[in-house]
Amino acid sequence: MIYAQKEDNFYVNLFIDSDVTLNVKGTKVGLHQKTNYPWDGHIGIHLEPEKPVEFALNIRVPSWTRNQPLPSDLYRYMNNREENVTLELNAEEIPLQVDKEFAVIQRQWKKGDMIQIDLPMPVRRVLCHDAVTANTGKVALERGPIVYCAEGVDNNNKVLDFVLSDNAKLQSEYRPDLLNGVVTIKAQAKQHDIVAIPYNCWLNRGQNEMTVWFHREAIPGKP
């Protein structure tokens, strides 16, 4: 699932440290991918064909880099961002030509060619479709491809009534000591700072409260 090939089109679908050998027109091509994704958006792809060979390298450009949390209208970002995905070939920036969600590089590849793609990863506020009334007046947090949640163990055991205002500052930090190494998000909240962890990591430290959707304004009658 990381890679796919169709004739002389080769696809990089997922960003994971990995090595693969493909066969293009009878020529073996070694490909090595180096990345710390999803904690940062720097992906390096190193190619080692036995001899020069032409084919199209297709690198997936996730929808969240184009101000779309998912390819549907169920979720949307509160504010669009202008940071652009950048693509370099042998340390020189090249135009990003996207076709069906893939950046396409068609050329004759030679041994030692290096691709660097950078996916900006600001912390984003996510809103739900208005028809989902359970999430009315609420906001979620996302960084890169990761959705975040607040868990009680990091937040004085109470998270269900947290208020995260639209102007609260958001900061991300890599924590090598937490959950085998994760990027956390710290947000200023009405009660106290919120610490959010990747949603996929919750319930690894005992049972406690957890929420993905934060109130944007104080709830009447709540402190």
Q: Which residues contact 176 (CB under 8 A, 6 or more apart)?
A: none
Phi, psi of 16 (to 5 degrees): -145, 135
Residue 110 in tokens: 């030679």
- Average pLDDT over the chain, rounded to whole? 94
**Spatial distance between the Cα atoms of 41 and 44, rounded to a whole number of angstroms:** 10
Do 104 and 162 belong together in one domain?
no
The domain total for the chain is 2
**Spatial distance between the Cα atoms of 37 and 43, rounded to a whole number of angstroms:** 7
Residue 220 resides in a domain: no
Identify the pLDDT of residue 151: 97
Q: Work out the pLDDT band at 118, boundaries 50, 70, 90.
A: very high
- pLDDT digits over 45-83, tens only? 999 999 999 999 999 999 999 999 988 999 999 998 878
Identify the pLDDT of residue 83: 80
Identify the pLDDT of residue 81: 83
Proportion of the chain above pLDDT 70, given as a percent? 97
Do 114 and 7 belong together in one domain?
yes
CATH code of residue 22: 2.60.420
Do 15 and 89 belong together in one domain?
yes
Could you say which of 74, 91, 118 is where a domain stops? 118
Proportion of the chain above pLDDT 90, given as a percent? 86
- pLDDT digits over 154-195, tens only? 999 989 988 999 999 999 999 999 999 999 999 987 667 899
| Amino acid identity at 215 | H
- pLDDT digits over 42-54, tens only? 999 999 999 999 9
Do 96 and 149 belong together in one domain?
no
Cis ω before 38 (30° cut-off from 0): yes
Residue 38 in tokens: 């999803």
Residue 222 resides in a domain: no
Do 15 and 109 belong together in one domain?
yes
Could you say which of 90, 118, 146 is where a domain stops? 118
